[in-house]
Each structure stands twice: as C-alpha cells, then as structure tokens.
Chains A and B, each alone.
Chain A
Amino acid sequence: MGVLGLLWFNWAGPAHAQTLPRSGAVSGASKLSLVQALVCEDVKDGIPANPAIAFSISAGKIYCYTLFDQIAEDTVVYHHWFFRDKPSARIRLSLKHPRWSTYSSIQLREADKGPWRVEITDAGGRLLKNLRFSVTD
C-alpha cells in the first residue's frame, strides 16, 4: 500500500480564532473543532480539488483533507486509513494554534480497489470523523 503522509500548514485567518486556555496538549485536543474533512483527488495551494466518494484507480493518488479550528495549542491528529476494515496506514499530523488545515494521501495500486474509510482521531484517540469512499476501476 503506497501511503504518503503529508503535513500541510495553512493559517486560515483570524476569523475563527479564539483565546483558549493553554492547559496542555490533551486539553487542547479536547477543544479541537473539525471544520471540514473530505477525501479528494488533489490538494492545490491548500485547497482540496474534486472531493468525491468514488475514485478511479487511474487517479494514482487520493488525499484526505482536514481543516481544524479552535486549536488551543499545538497538537496532533491522526488519519487512520482502512481498506475493507483492515488497517492500512496510521498517519500523525501536526496542528498549529489557532486554525490549521492538513492532509494525508495514499498512492493507489490495482489491489486497492474496494471500499475504504479514514478515521480521523485527535491526540487522545477520540474519533472526530469517519470518511467512507471507494476506489474503483
């Protein structure tokens, strides 16, 4: 399984910035707000392109894009990639205060056709989102 984890830092502006207590990473993670999560064909300049739920194997690569808000302090999140309920990759991604977007990606091969899902969890293992999609012909 060709999996490539990438960290994308994108300060999304102060619009949603809040003054948060700095009480440690776990505390910061618990206040974390997942604004957007999707699987897409590409991420260009921090913007996801062609989000979808079925991807052709010919795309070669797919991305899981996540945008977080209310990041009290620097922390991490995880993208767990599962193929047919079997763990395929676990990617650790860093988040910066106060708003951050990041993504991970996998390289597709012929054997990867089938149903996939990506579980997005915070540093404490709390499930934030479960994205389901398929890789097809």
Chain B
Amino acid sequence: MEKVLQFFSNFRWQDVVDIGLNSYILFRFYVLFRGTYVFRVLIGLTMLWFFQQIAVYMGLIVTSWVVQGIVAVAALIIVVVFRNEIRSVLQARNMRTILWGFTSKTRIAPIDIIADSAFELARRRHGALIVIPGEEDIQEMIQSGIAWNGDISREMILSIFFPDNPVHDGAAVIEGDRIARVGAILPLSRREDLPSYLGTRHRAALGLSEGSDALVIVVSEERGEVSLAKGLRLREIGSSRKLAQKLEEHFGVADEQSLPLKKERLEITTAALVSLLFITGFWFSISQGLETLVTFDVPIEYQNRDPNMEILHASVNAVRLNLSGSGTLVKSTRSDQVRVKLDLSTATAGQNNFSITASNISFPPGLVLKNVTPQNIVVDLDITVKKDLPVQVDWVGRLPENLILAEAAADPQRVEIIGGKRILENIQTIYTEKILLDRLREGAGVIEVGLALQPASLKLASGSSEKIAVKYLTRRRD
C-alpha cells in the first residue's frame, strides 16, 4: 500500500500527458490505416517483436537474432513497399481527418434505390441478377465479370441490365454503397427439386446463395417478378417495400442504429482502450523499471556573459552528475541530453563563486539527480580591452661564428591586441614566432613571420596585421 501511495506521489501531470498523447497517436494510426495492407503487416511485425522478446526471455539466442533481423528489415521494407498506400492514406485526408476525424469503414448500401430499381426492371421486363454479399468472401465463387466500382444509382442499375448492354446477362455485385463488379458469372444450383419454370438466372441466384450467406435479387425477364435467393430459399417478393425490408434485414439495419455501426463503434472503442493499455504498459516498462545509477561528466555551458568580459579561468571545466532512473531510460540517455548551464548575467570582473543547483542542470524527464561534484565553482572574469603593444622579434638558434646580427626591424612595429584587462596589464611586448638564426646569411634580408599570442585568449584587433615583416642585416664580425 505504501509503495502504491509512493508511486502515485511520484506520478507527475507530465506523465499523464505523455501517456495520453502517445496513446492517441497510436489510436490515430489505427484509425487511419485500419483495413489496409499496411495495418495487417504492422500487426504481423508487432507479433514478431513480441515473439522476439519471448525468444530473448527464454534464451533462444539464434531465434531472437533471426527474428530481430526480420523485424529490422521488415520495418524498412514496409516503408518502401507500401509507400503508395501510406501516401494515399495521408494525402486523401485533410488535417482534421488525420487528427481527430473518423471515416466509416462500413458503408450502407442505398436500400431504397436497389429495391425501387429492381421493381422498375421487373416492370420493364428486363432480367437482372443483383448480388449483395454477406460476411463470407464470395470472390472464389464468382467468375469473370468486369470491375466497375461505381456509385449505386437507379439509372446505373437500369442501364447495366438494359437488354442491349453486353453485361446485362451477368450479375452485378454490390459492396457497400458501390457496384463493385458487373457481368459476373455465378455458379448454377444443382438442385433437381426446382420448378421447371425457373430459368438459368434463378438457378444462378440459388447457386450462389446456397454456397454462401449472400443475398441475390433476381428479376425475371419472362414474368416480370422479383425474387430473393437467400440460403436454400428462393422467395418471390411482392413489393419494393417488402424487398427493402428484406434488404434491411440482410444488412442488419435496425430502426435506430445499424448493427455494423454498433460493431464499428465497439471496434473503435476497443482500439482506443488497447492503445491506452499498450502505451501505459510501455511507459511503465521504460520509466518504472529497476533503478540504475549513471555518472555523466558534463561540460559547463556559460550563458549571458557580458560581451565586454571574458572568462579567464574556471576552477573546473566540467561537473560530475550522478543520475538515477530505470535501466531503459538510463541506457537511452545520451550525453548531449544532460547539460549544465551557468548564468553569468550577475558576474563581475574578478573571481565569482557559483553554486551548481538543480536549476542549472537539465536532463531527460524520468531521471533523478542524486549528486553533483563539485557543487561550487569559481569563475574568473576579466573586462576585455584593447592595448597597443610593440612587436619584438624572438630570435633562436645560432648564427655562424663569423657573423653578427647587426640590425633588425619589425614592420609593423606595433600591433593592437584585444584581451582581458588584467592580462594585458602585465604584457608590455608582443613577440613574434621564433625565427631561426641559422637560416640567415650575410647581408640584408626580409623574413615574414606570425605573432605568438600568449595566452591564447589574446586576439589581434581588426586592422592589425597578422604577419610581421622582419628586415635584418648581418655583417662579418670585427
């Protein structure tokens, strides 16, 4: 009980947002991609991942490697192979639909249009065969036909079964609110107990209904009657209202709400709950695992330094942080995610003492700061000034015994240097880089050389030459 209370006391509002946000993102992925091949493959990948976790847990080394490899490659392949599907899902929907809209998977056929059309065909004595599939897949039972995928309308149904239409003898297959296929050939019933007046069209209707849960509307060309084949029965329907009623029963449309819609709502609610449970479990596995301690040596970042001042010296360049958290969090924490920042806005020229507190340190949420070493640091700051200094040539090496370096002059003779005031106070001369006397020959010459700026914090002011021309004269010793 105490542990439960302790857990909830550590539970932050950010954690609730974290879980809620990610659950919603997962849920939205489901809503957007359900029914597509991408979603099925994703489900397969997820199962593979679980399988791999089980294999690791059970110590099946090779199996876990193989499954891990498959998951890794499959994740790449899914993006490449299904790029068109992914693109169509994302492109076909506006931002509102992507973020919170729902597109109904179940589309209800316009029952009244189908019913009225069937009786209009009967009135005109145009034979027709309309298939309305149930839950079962009837793809394998239907042969040939032409893919249509057109919206259902009275005119369209009448047109399909118009006697001069090449596809009028075949069946029209309705899926949802569309005519999916026309001119389809249905299997014929082999029953021998059927009345002799029933023609091929009726036998075809029964052939399909006997072997599946599909509903088939038959319009007799000879008698101008509308019949309905369902299961083993073939019933004559007297009115379009009666036909509509039968169609509603087939579609499962109740008075107030359809069963498919109820099922869909249930499916969406289940998906939302599964998303929430999955993310919650995932969050707990990451943030509430076994506590692990980790040490980071983090360089100190200085902020808000007065541009007229520079840091001469700091007692330490990095602080050691001891952080704790779940093993997963600690393992996934990169060194660049842990930062120590020190605000120098209140610092003055000279030595400044700072204490490193939690407010100076940033690290990924879920980790806990245990210790900071050292807790106090001293930062020595100085005001930046310019100083005009003479240049002196720094000769090294040795001239030949018979020669003397009689004259030498640097050009320019003076340079302007930028640096800390206290540093520059003790500097009266800027030296060139070392020039080797051994290189010199008798007579006059010029050597170009750079400046040796020590300490390295010193800089040449803009406009001062970086190169110094050293004119020299050697002569023979007396």
Q: Select which of A50, A130, A134, A137 is within 8 A of B394 by beta carbon.
A: A134
A53–B478 CA distance with the chains assembled, in angstroms: 15
Q: Select which of B392, B397, B405, B477 is within 8 A of A137 by beta carbon.
A: B397
| Interfacial residues of chain B within 425-478, with CB under 8 A of chain A in the complex | 426-429, 431, 437, 477-478
Do A115 and B392 touch across chains, with their CB atoms under 8 A apart? yes
Do A136 and B396 touch across chains, with their CB atoms under 8 A apart? yes
Known: A115-B392, A117-B392, A137-B398. A50 touches B426 (CB 8 A): no
| Interfacial residues of chain A within 42-60, with CB under 8 A of chain B in the complex | 49-54, 56
Do B395 and A136 touch across chains, with their CB atoms under 8 A apart? yes
Do A85 and B395 touch across chains, with their CB atoms under 8 A apart? no
| B393 in contact (CB, < 8 A) | yes
Known: A85-B429, A115-B429, A136-B437. A50 touches B395 (CB 8 A): no
Q: Select which of A49, A56, A117 is within 8 A of B429 by beta carbon.
A: A117
Interface size class of B (residues with CB under 8 A): 20 to 34
B444 shortest CB reach to chain A, Å:
14
A60 shortest CB reach to chain B, Å:
15
Q: Select which of B398, B427, B429, B478 is within 8 A of A50 by beta carbon.
A: B478
| Interfacial residues of chain B within 340-374, with CB under 8 A of chain A in the complex | none
- Which residues on A sit within 8 Å (CB–CB) of B427? 85
Interface size class of A (residues with CB under 8 A): 10 to 19
Q: Which residues of A contact B (CB under 8 A)?
A: 49-54, 56, 82, 85, 113-115, 117, 130, 132, 134, 136-137
Instruction: Please list the 8 inter-chain residue pairs (A to B) with the smallest Cβ-Cβ separation, ordered nearest first.
Output: A134-B395, A54-B405, A137-B398, A54-B395, A52-B404, A132-B392, A85-B428, A115-B394
Known interface pairs A54-B395, A136-B398; 16 further A-B residue pairs with C-beta atoms within 8 A, sorted by A's residue number: A50-B404, A50-B477, A53-B407, A54-B399, A85-B426, A85-B427, A113-B396, A115-B392, A115-B394, A115-B429, A132-B393, A132-B429, A134-B394, A136-B396, A136-B399, A137-B398
Q: Which residues of B contact A (CB under 8 A)?
A: 390, 392-399, 404-408, 426-429, 431, 437, 477-478
